[in-house]
Amino acid sequence: MTLPATVSAAPSTGAGGPRGDWIPEVQGLRTLALLLVATFHIWFDRVSGGVDIFLLVSAFLMTRSLVGRLERGEPLRPITYIVQRFGRLMPLAIGIGAVTLAASAILLPPSRLREYIEQFLASSLYFENVWLQDALVNYFADDGTLASPFQHYWSLSIQGQIFVIWPLLFVVIWLLTKFARVPLRPLALTLFGALFVAGLAWSTILTAQNQQFAYFDLSARVWEFAAGSILALVVPWLRLGPLSRSIMTWAGIAGAVLGGIVIPVEGTFPGIAALWPVVSAALVIAGAGAPTRFGGDRLLAHPVMTRIGEYTYALYLVHWPVLIIGMGVLRTPRPDVLQGTFLLALSAVLSVAAVHLIEKPFGWFTRSRAPRNGRWPRTAPWRAAVVIVTLPALAAATAAHANTLVDERQVLAWEQLSEFDLATMGPNAAGGENPHPGVVLPNPWINSHDIGGMTPCTESMLPAGVSDAAITHCQANHTSFDPEDTNHSVYLVGNSHVQQLTQFVGQAAILHQWALRGYLMFGCQYGAYGDVAEEECLGMWDDATIDILENKPDAVFVLGTQSTGPDTEDELPGLYDWVETITAAGVDVVVVRDNPRSDVNMPECGDRWGYESDRCTWPTALVQPNDGLRTAVENAGGIYLDINHLICPEGRCRAVYGGIVVFFDNSHVSATYMRALAFTTAPMLAQRLPWWPPALK
């Protein structure tokens, strides 16, 4: 989004007539862009390209202002400029962000509240785009989860970063014009032209390599700002007649409206395809000027459009959280016409309220002067500085307090979890019926943390032959295998799905004082199968093998397959040879079939649609016996264990079964369900492992 107010610039002639500070077509263009963004978000579940128009417009106005200062011989004062700019932007951004956080805490499920707190702080400090990149968020994802109500702050963050960089670039330009005696506009055109060409080339490459990352990337977006600056530099030189300007403005309007329909934005932006909205906006601005009889200015410069333009910044900030929270409350994947109209009207009302209750009071504060005898600094920049220091500090304090409240609720949720007997729930519940109606374990406050694991090993626990990297992968629940301390010992080796088994085995270990040790690395199956750091993964398995052969635990658990979807799985090449090596040393190896996977984040699906919703249930063929795998494992001397029929009873994977959340995400079984499975499978394991108790109670 761009600033809601106009930016001063030196009077100049171009694009058909005299231009002062006010360009009504630009104000109307912002209104058009915002309406496109909002309507496409609400009704069409698409990206319109309107944000790209905002980026160009913001650079156009900023460059126009800074160039005007230099041409009039006024001091540039970049720090003052930056401070004043953020003094105007921050109140609405942080104020609406705080209200969004409070509304999310009240109206949305709590499972992602911690994430929302982080995003509120990232948005307040203008690095939400970086947060989304680090979190590998897919802006166009359709995996059944609800998008973040703060996700739209990515564009504000990129603009905030540009609002710091651009004034500093103009300092460089000013120095070159002063000491090298190079004309201002040709020099600036050369700089921004090079930035445009290089930036567009890089954006196209990065978009092709990783569009999900590029969408939020500053370097992939900088060319759009450069385009706005080029436009501001060349517009005063244009001499266009009314007919040309009429054609340009209507062509620009048509391009802006049709861009989101014609172009597959979801797979092509911000690469070369983003030229469409950028050129469309440029046509409108270049064609602006003296009023025409039939031009697009008749629409864009209309008082209604320019009046709405005063609220576009607030409406951009408000419409997205209203949409996301509204869909969460209504439990709808997309609002219908009536619901969408209501949400848009509500957004409009809230944006008007935000402007009058937040933006204007802060604007008065930063622009007005104190009495001469007052102790408060008289100049507006100092007041703006107070705003940009105080508001982020308040945002940080708000985030810290909210995190404390989440901590308290999570402590209570963990305590509640410990009060229930898992031997009667989940796969142990008769017919999958919840023995505690109204109770779902774990509580939504903690189900995003219910993955399980153990504590890191100490160096003294590791045998001499392992590598230095072994300590990074080793986990344990005991520091010694002394018979006085433990009755039996079990190792677990593999990826995060093996980490799930630490809870499955761990339930028996707790009740019978066994020692557990795991060599665990996300994505690391035997033979470095799949997309994983091969050298590190192979090294982990080598270290685990050395440790197993030296300490000779009673059993080792590994996965025998890797599921690749709800119905498909791959066997792991070379695993059976490894099993033969370990069993030849007198150690039992339990080879577990991998559980099914899907594209649906099950807890979030349950939070959004209800745990019994058909949206959160999917079929799987991986409950059917895999006799070939069983035979191969047993021929290698291993013990085969298939628990998929207990994870997805009757071939249906559910969000909740027997009162327990089954999946931690789209593929990992929750730690609580795994602990409940320990009671169900004890008789199965006792048949093959004489020391394994047939019942855990």
SS3 of 628-690: the string is: HHHHHHHHCCCEEECCHHHHCHHHEECCEECCEECECCCCCECHHHHHHHHHHHHHHHHCCCC
Return the percentage of the chain with pLDDT > 90, whole number. 69
Q: For residue 39, give the H/E element and its range.
A: helix 24-39
Sign of the dihedral defined by the CA atoms of residues 558, 564, 569, 573, in that order? negative
339-396 per-position pLDDT tens digit: 999 999 999 999 999 999 999 999 888 876 555 554 544 456 888 999 999 999 999 9
Q: What is the pLDDT of residue 662?
A: 95
Least confident residue range of 16-30, 65-79, 456-470: 16-30
Q: What is the pLDDT of residues 630-670, one digit of tens each?
A: 999 999 999 999 999 999 999 999 999 999 999 999 999 99
Residue with tokens 């004309």: 183
pLDDT bracket for residue 5 (50, 70, 90): very low
In order of their start, the domains of the chain are 24-368+380-402 (no CATH), 439-687 (3.40.50)
Task: State how far the Cα of 46 lies from the Cα of 264, in Å rounded to an integer.
Answer: 9
Neighbours of 423 (CB within 10 A): 18
> What's the one-letter identity of residue 497?
H
Left (φ > 0), alpha (ψ -120 to 50) or beta: where does 5 sit? beta
**What is the amino acid identity at position 315?**
L
Predicted pLDDT of residue 19: 41
In the chain, the percentage of residues whose pLDDT exceeds 70 is 92
| Rounded average pLDDT over 529-557 | 90
CA distance 18 to 235: 11
State the pLDDT confidence band at 138, using cuts at 50, 70 and 90.
low
DSSP one-letter string for 63-100? HHHHHHHHHTT----HHHHHHHHHHHHHHHHHHHHHHH
| pTM, rounded to two decimals | 0.84
Confidence check: pLDDT of 2 > 50: no
Is the pLDDT at 139 greater than 70? The verdict is no
Average pLDDT over residues 168-175: 94
Alpha-carbon gap, residue 243 to 386, rounded angstroms: 49
Write out the DSSP string of 304-354: HHHHHHTTHHHHHHHHHHHHHHHHHHHT-SS--HHHHHHHHHHHHHHHHHH
Residue 93, exposed/middle/buried by CB under 10 A (0-12, 13-18, 19+)?
buried
Spatial distance between the Cα atoms of 520 and 478, rounded to a whole number of angstroms: 16
Helices (H), 215-336: 218-234, 242-262, 265-268, 275-286, 297-300, 303-309, 312-330
Tokens 């160039």 appear where? 67
Distance from chain centroid for Cα 599? 16
What is the predicted pLDDT for the residue at 13? 34
How far is 277 from 533, CA to CA, in rounded Å? Answer: 40
pLDDT at 680: 92
Going by pLDDT thresholds of 50, 70 and 90, the confidence category of residue 1 is: very low
What pLDDT is recorded for position 365? 87
Helix (H, G, I), strand (E, B) or coil at 570: strand
pLDDT classification of 3: cutoffs 50, 70, 90: very low
- Spatial distance between the Cα atoms of 267 and 141, rounded to a whole number of angstroms: 11
Per residue in 183-233, pLDDT tens? 999 999 999 999 999 999 999 999 999 988 999 999 999 999 999 999 999
Question: Residue range 573-598: average pLDDT?
Answer: 95
pLDDT: which is higher, 397 or 604: 397
Instruction: Output DSSP code: residue 471.
Output: H
**Top-confidence residue, 141 or 402:** 402
* Pairwise CA distance, residues 688 & 568, whole Å: 27
Q: Which pLDDT band, with edges at 50, 70 and 90, does 18 fall under?
A: very low
| Paired tokens of 392 | 């982020």
- Average pLDDT, integer, range 322-347: 92
Identify whether the C-beta of residue 27 lies closer than 8 Å to the C-beta of residue 60.
Answer: no
Among 237, 629, 672, residue whose Cα is nearest residue 413: 672
Residue 369 pLDDT = 58
In whole angstroms, what is the distance from residue 505 CA to residue 498 CA?
Answer: 10
- Asked if the model's pLDDT at residue 8 lies above 50, the reply is no
